[in-house]
Chains A and B, each alone.
Chain A
Amino acid sequence: MSITATLIGQMITFAILVWFIGKYLWGPMTQMMDDRKKRIADGLAAAERGIHEQELAEQKATQHIKEAKEQAAEILSQAQKRGVEIVEDAKDDAKAEGERLITAANAEIEQEVNRAKETLREQVVEITIAAASKIVKKEIDAKAHGELLKDVVGQI
């Protein structure tokens, strides 16, 4: 039970072991754990940033929607106005057309009446001639009395 040369052997073993563990375990492992700590911190920061960006994006989106709604309302009101205008125009056109048609119809009617009067007049002349010839029992020479007949027809 005394200190022997084993001491020297154990000291050498100890030194080698400290070097070995420092090189292959302590060094890489503490390095890795530091890296991991840093990565976790970075990840959390990135998540925080992401949340912030999302909030911004949501705000932007709401604003866009609001603007779009306003634009849509404006377009709608314009369209309504335009529609009313078109209807008014159509009404005016229709009125004008109707009046034109009526005028045309009236003119035609008048023409027809005139033509009917003319025809009637000629037929009256013929009937008158027939009637007169029967009354005088004498053939009226159409040639001889043509001028007289024309005068009569003109007076009718």
Chain B
Amino acid sequence: MSSSTASEASGPTTSVEYIQHHLHNNSIGEGGFWVLNLDTLIYSWLLAGVLMYIAYTMGKKMTSDTPSGGQNVLEAIVEFVQQQIKDIFPGSNPLIGPLALTIFMWVFLMNAMDLIPVDLLPQLGHLVGIEYMKVVPTTDLSTTFALALSVFALIIYYNIKIKGPIGYIKMFLFHPFGKYLIPVNILMTAIEEIAKPISLGLRLFGNMFAGELIFMLIALLGATSLYGLAPQIALGTVWAIFHILVISLQAFIFMLLTIVYLGMAHQEIEEH
């Protein structure tokens, strides 16, 4: 994708170019790691701003006795998250609640950008001279891994805090098979731990990226021939409805696994 040239920026023509164009981030930087994807950042900031606004206004005006519609919705979400934490998480931690709630709502909103017609915002951007735009922040590995690595950092932090540094090392040494297979244990536990953030980040990214790609392919149906218009509308509707499930489910799974992983970090080490 980094091979895209200036000629492509003047407007996509073939299907391949169309898709490549759509998958190109609007970024600044030298290339390699030190690149900022402006579209990802701006859309996720906008959604974070929406969440902050809702959280702030609702937190200020909520009442105990006569909750209004918006407050009821938020209360239902908060209670839902609270219930999940109560079911899964051992003990209590003041961070886990806000963390899980934030992941659920923010990831859901970022995923929900997928439901906006694929060409709408990029086309509007094109009109004001913005050539590249990816509107779904969770189709960017940087976003999903930012969340996954934050969770991973918390997993390591709480492992060390609860089990102690020695306990944490002992978990690596003796964990699955006892003390006679220490090299195997180290390998197994390391894989197990590293798999957590990677699976978290890749699962969300994969689902959203694939969903976005299919939206593009459906959009291409009508673009390539006039006969494709009816299938485009039909398939687009079906996929969008199905995608409502996918975006909620992925937000929920990300939140749930975060709680599960942090819950595991909070468990005292078992002797083998």
Q: A residues touching B (Cβ–Cβ < 8 Å)?
A: 1-11, 13-22, 24-30, 32-33, 35-36, 39
Task: Select B55's contact among A4, A21, A32, beta carbons within 8 Å.
Answer: A21
Complex CA distance for A10 and B103, rounded to whole angstroms: 12
Chain B: interface residue count, which band? 35 or more
Given contacts A4-B37, A5-B29, 10 further A-B contacts (CB under 8 A): A2-B33, A4-B34, A6-B37, A6-B146, A9-B146, A10-B142, A14-B146, A17-B102, A29-B74, A35-B64
Counted as pairs of residues, one from A and one from B, with CB atoms less than 8 Å apart, the total is: 129
Provided the pairs A9-B36, A14-B150, A30-B97 are in contact, do residues A25 and B74 lie with their beta carbons within 8 angstroms?
A: yes
For the residues of A in contact with B, the DSSP-based class is helix
When the two chains form their complex, are residues A17 and B51 in contact, meaning their CB atoms are under 8 A apart? Answer: yes
Provided the pairs A13-B44, A26-B98 are in contact, do residues A3 and B59 lie with their beta carbons within 8 angstroms?
A: no
Q: Which residues of A contact B35 (CB under 8 A)?
A: 4-6
User: What are the 10 closest A-B residue pairs judged by CB atoms, nearest first?
Assistant: A22-B98, A10-B146, A6-B142, A25-B55, A24-B59, A4-B35, A26-B98, A7-B142, A6-B37, A11-B146
Q: Cβ of B58 < 8 Å from any Cβ of A?
A: yes
When the two chains form their complex, are residues A25 and B59 in contact, meaning their CB atoms are under 8 A apart? Answer: yes
> Whole-angstrom distance from the CB of B245 to the nearest CB of chain A?
25
When the two chains form their complex, are residues A15 and B44 in contact, meaning their CB atoms are under 8 A apart? Answer: no
When the two chains form their complex, are residues B40 and A3 in contact, meaning their CB atoms are under 8 A apart? Answer: no
> Whole-angstrom distance from the CB of A19 to the nearest CB of chain B?
8
Task: Select B102's contact among A8, A9, A18, A30, beta carbons within 8 Å.
Answer: A18
Q: Cβ of B41 < 8 Å from any Cβ of A?
A: yes
Complex CA distance for A7 and B40, rounded to whole angstroms: 10
Mask, B94-107, CB within 8 Å of A = 1, is 11011101100110
Q: Which residues of B contact A24 (CB under 8 A)?
A: 52, 55-56, 59-60
> Whole-angstrom distance from the CB of A32 to the nearest CB of chain B?
5
